[in-house]
Amino acid sequence: MTRFTIPKNAGTNFLQPPPQLRIAAPLLILALSGCQSIPDAPSEVKIPVPVPCIETMPTAPALISDADLLALPDGPFVIALGIDRKQRAGYIAELEAVLQACVK
């Protein structure tokens, strides 16, 4: 029977793997471990999509122009301003109602 003897000048280098194996072994382990843990694909992905909350804007009332107001005498001027103010208040209320529906 022959015995394996370690040469005295070998030191501890005979226990270390060759440099090619030192690089290839960790890469092989990482590659094989990556194959085992494949994540499941998501079944449903929710993506926010901007959509308008209203279909049409309210129509603006035909308000009296400044030139028309200046051409009126005092009595009809005050009446025209009152009518103009009521139309504008109604339009603003309608706009606020539409915008309130959009706010969440």
Residue with tokens 């009126």: 72
CA distance to 8, 65, 90, per residue, from 62 (Å): 109, 9, 12
Answer for the pair 93, 101: CB distance below 8 angstroms, yes or no. Answer: no
Number of folded domains that form the chain: 1
CA dihedral 25, 30, 32, 38 (to 10 degrees): 180
Q: Where residue 91 falls among pLDDT bands split at 50, 70, 90?
A: very high
Which residue range(s) make up the domain with 97? 66-102
Name which of 16-20, 48-52, 60-64, 76-80 the model is least confident about: 16-20
- H or E segment at 98? helix 74-102
Kindly report, residue by residue over 5-37, the tens digit of the pLDDT: 666 666 666 667 677 777 777 787 877 766 666
Higher pLDDT: 5 or 90? It is 90
Distance CA 62, CA 83 (A): 11
Instruction: Confirm whether 81 is domain-assigned.
Output: yes
pLDDT (average), residues 64-93: 92
Instruction: Confirm whether 39 is domain-assigned.
Output: no
Residue with tokens 């030191």: 11
Residue 11's pLDDT is what? 60
Q: Check whether 80 has a pLDDT greater than 80.
A: yes
Instruction: Confirm whether 86 is domain-assigned.
Output: yes
User: Percent of the chain, pLDDT > 90?
Assistant: 23
